[in-house]
Amino acid sequence: MEAYPSELLLIAFVAMLAPLIAELPSNFRLPVVALEIVLGILIGPHVFDLGSPDGMIGTLGNLGLTFLIFLVGLEIDFDRIRGRPLSLAVGGWFISFLLAMVCMLFFDAIGLIQTPVILAATALSTTALGVLAPILRDRGELNTDFGKYLVATAAVGEFAPLVIISLLLIPTHDTFLHTLFIVTFIIVALVVANIALHMRSSPLIEKLAHTMQSSGQLPVRMCILLQVLLVTLAAKFGLNIVMGAFTAGMVVGLAIKGNNEGELLRHKLDAIGYGFLIPIFFIVAGMKFEVSALWSSPLAPIQVALLSCLLVLIRGVPLFLYHKELLPEEKIPFAFYSATGLPLIVIISEIGVSSGLMPPDRASILVSAGMVSVLLFPVLAVKLRGKFVLPW
Cβ within 8 Å of residue 320, ≥6 positions away: 392
Three-state DSSP class for 214? Answer: coil
Cβ within 8 Å of residue 376, ≥6 positions away: 308
Q: One digit per residue, pLDDT tens: the chain, 392 residues?
A: 444 557 899 999 999 999 999 888 776 677 788 889 889 999 999 899 998 898 889 999 989 989 988 988 887 877 778 889 999 999 999 999 999 999 999 998 888 777 888 889 999 999 988 788 878 887 888 888 999 999 999 989 988 887 787 666 555 556 667 677 777 887 888 888 888 777 766 666 666 667 777 787 888 999 999 999 999 988 887 777 888 898 999 899 888 876 766 788 898 999 999 999 999 998 998 898 888 877 878 888 999 999 999 999 999 999 999 988 998 889 999 999 999 988 788 878 877 777 777 887 888 888 889 989 988 998 899 888 766 555 55
For the 56-269+290-383 domain, the top CATH level (class) is: mainly alpha
313, 123 Cβ separation under 8 angstroms: no
So what's the pLDDT on residue 1? 45
Helices 300-316 and 331-338 cross at an angle (nearest 10°) of 120
Angle at 68 between CA 268 and CA 280, to 5 degrees: 90
- The domain locations on the chain are 56-269+290-383
Give CA separation, 213 vs 196, 206, 209, 210, in Å.
22, 12, 8, 6
Give CA separation, 385 vs 28, 33, 155, 312, 370, in Å.
14, 20, 22, 16, 22
pTM across the whole model:
0.84
Helices 145-164 and 84-109 cross at an angle (nearest 10°) of 50
